[in-house]
């Protein structure tokens, strides 16, 4: 069964590129603009990718919301960012991984697969 990735990104070009890459690797993709965690279609996904720099909030704050909601806390979350402190940001919000932009295609796919595997073990 295909795994589904939820991408939360406010930049249409980046959202489209990440979606295309992951779909070409066999993932189902749901892409959305930022919204409160409770409104996200997380019940239909296996992993969440969140951009750190969103229009009205920061990705790590959305990650923290997801990790606090009982029905969502099991979902692996990956933060994407150009920030030099992305590793610290990911650790502080309890994200399961991070990807520094700009990223290599293989890196994106490998981090997603690694977090999915780690999520199934726990």
**Inter-helix orientation angle 105-121/12-24, to 10°:** 70
- pLDDT above 90 coverage of the chain, percent: 75
Q: In the predicted model, what is the mean pLDDT of residues 91-109?
A: 95
- What is the rounded average pLDDT for all residues in the chain? 91
Question: 């994106």: which residue's tokens?
Answer: 108
- DSSP string covering the chain: ---EEEEE-S-HHHHHHHHHHHHHTT-EEEEE----GGGS-GGG-SEEEEESB-SSSBHHHHHHHHHHSTTTTTS-EEEEE--TTHHHHHHHTT-SEEEESS--HHHHHHHHHHHHHHHHH-
pLDDT of residue 118: 84
**pLDDT-based confidence at 122, cuts 50/70/90?**
very low
Q: Look at 118 and 100; give whichever has higher pLDDT.
A: 100
Is residue 70 over pLDDT 80?
yes
pTM of the model: 0.92
pLDDT at 120: 56
CATH architecture of 4-121: 3-Layer(aba) Sandwich (3.40)
| % residues pLDDT > 70 (the chain) | 96
Asked if the model's pLDDT at residue 36 lies above 90, the reply is no
**What residue ranges do the domains of the chain occupy?**
4-121
d(CA 51, CA 103): 13
């Amino acid at each position: 069964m295909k795994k589904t990735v939820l991408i939360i990104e406010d930049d249409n070009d980046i959202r489209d590129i990440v979606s295309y890459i992951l779909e070409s690797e066999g993932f189902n993709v749901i892409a959305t603009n930022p919204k409160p965690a409770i409104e996200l279609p997380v019940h239909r996904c296996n992993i969440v990718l969140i951009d750190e720099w969103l229009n009205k909030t920061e990705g790590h704050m959305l990650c923290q919301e997801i990790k606090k909601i009982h029905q969502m806390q099991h979902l692996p979350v990956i933060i994407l960012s150009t920030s030099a402190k992305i590793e610290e940001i990911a650790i502080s919000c309890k994200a399961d991984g991070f990807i520094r932009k700009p990223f290599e295609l293989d890196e994106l796919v490998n981090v997603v697969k690694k977090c999915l595997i780690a999520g199934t073990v726990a």
